[in-house]
Amino acid sequence: MELLTIKNIEKYYGNRSNLTKAIDDISFKVSSGEFVAIMGASGSGKTTLLNCISTIDRVTAGNIFFEGTDVTHLKNKQLNAFRRDKLGFIFQDFNLLDTLTAYENISLALTIQKRPAREIDSAVRKVAEQLGITDVLDKYPYQMSGGQKQRVASARAIVTEPSLVLADEPTGALDSKSAKLLLERMSYLNRELGATIMMVTHDSFTASYTSRVIFIKDGKIFSELSRGDNSRKQFFDRIIDVVTLLGGDVSDAL
């Protein structure tokens, strides 16, 4: 089932004399239950794309259909509700609230949705178990490691059972061990719980955990890879090949 359809979107910055096309006619689809990575170098437009999908930013042209609704035409109030109810966010720098414990940070996502207090405890504990953070629930962010923080942030993103989880460089601030642990958890969420995840990254290793990788260069789709039956290692090699191509000059590649 198609969850997200992106149709010829464009995003321009600047004015007439100095126009930057951050996104230049991109179209693709994401089905429910997919784990998609968007890869590209810095400045390729991948974060802008994520911002447009999450409706934090508005597109200049084109449409984004989410579960059949065109979110580019939503009004402010509806936008808030859309973000709150349909999307979950994971950020590079965790974005946990310092003054709250892990438990409270996770529960906040639910209370913002105005869920009744009695549902909260079971929901938080369930998601904490899935992400292996039950023992840090009563700790404050400053008492946790980076990996724990990011898993708490992930828990906060999925506790509301959103239709789509958007992750912006989730492993960017983690050491390799924590990154691996997080990615395993994320693919577990995707595989076992059917969470649809869309992740922006520039790291091939991170991308190799997904089922599909979309490469972006200068605001355009450069290439797309599907994992198919490949093992993670094989998929990683294929990604590396594309990245080499992506990084080099076109003339170098030819």
Partner 1 sequence: MLFKLSVRNIRKSIKDYAIYFFTLIVSVAIFYLFSSIEDQEAFRKYISTDPLSGRTIKSFLKGLSIFIAALLGLLIVYANRFLMKRRHKEFAIYLMLGMGKRKISVILFLETLLIGLGSLVVGLIVGVGLSQFMSALVADLFEADLNAYKFVISNSTIARTILYFGVSYLVVMLFNGIIITKCKLINLMQSARRSEKISQKNPWLCVGVFIAAVCALAWSYHKVTHNTLMLRKDELLFCIGLGAVSTLLLFWSVSGLMLRAVMSVRGLYYKGLNTFTFRQISSKINTAVISMTIICLTLFITVCTLSASFAYRGALNKTLRECCPADIEFTMSNYERLKNKDKLEFQPIKEKPDEIIRLSGADKYLRKTEMISVYFETKTNDTQVTYTDILGKYNTEYNSQPYERIQVETNSSPRICSLSDYNKLAELFGSEKLNMEKDEYFIVADERSICPFLDKAAASGTELTFNGRKLKPAFDKHIHGTMELFEAPINCGVLIVDDNLLTDMMPIMFDLFGYFNSSSKDEMREQNKQLDAVVNKWVSQNYPDYKGEAYVESKVKISDNLIGESAMMTFIGLYLGLIFIIICAAVIALKQLSDCTDSTGSYEILRKIGAEENSISRSLFTQTAVFFFLPLLIAVVHSIFGLKICTTIIRTFSSYNIVSSILLTAGIIILIYGGYFILTYFCGRSIIRRKK
If the CB atoms of residues 107 and 196 are measured against partner 1, the closer one turns out to be 107
DSSP, collapsed to helix, strand or coil, labels residue 102 as helix
Q: Is 74 in the site for partner 1 (CB under 8 A)?
A: no
From the CB of 134, what's the least distance to partner 1, in Å?
Answer: 18
Only one residue has tokens 């402010």, namely 76
Phi-psi label, residue 14: left if phi above 0, alpha if psi -120 to 50, beta otherwise: left
**Shortest distance, CB of residue 15 to partner 1, whole angstroms?**
19
Q: Which stretch binds partner 1 (CB under 8 A): 64-72, 135-143, 183-191, 217-225?
A: 135-143
Q: How many residues bind partner 1 (CB under 8 A)?
A: 33
Near partner 1 by CB under 8 A: residue from 4, 38, 53, 109: 109
Contact residue for partner 1 among 47, 48, 92, 107 (CB under 8 A): 107
List 97, 135, 191, 241, residue binding partner 1 (CB under 8 A): 97
User: How far from 107 is each of 30, 100, 162, 204, CA to CA, in Å?
Assistant: 28, 10, 14, 33
**Angle at Cα 6 formed by Cα 66 and Cα 216, nearest 5°?**
135
Task: Indicate whether 128 belongs to the interface with partner 1 (CB under 8 A).
Answer: no
CB distance 48 to 22 below 8 Å: yes
Question: What Cα–Cα distance (Å) separates residue 217 from each residue in 36, 126, 199, 225?
Answer: 17, 39, 16, 15
Stretch that binds partner 1, among 22-30, 41-49, 112-120, 238-246 (CB under 8 A): 112-120
d(CA 24, CA 239): 23
231 binds partner 1 (CB under 8 A): no
Q: What single-letter DSSP state applies at residue 196?
A: -
Sites of contact with partner 1 (CB under 8 A): 56, 80, 83-85, 87, 89, 91, 93, 95-100, 104, 107-114, 116-118, 120-121, 140-142, 156
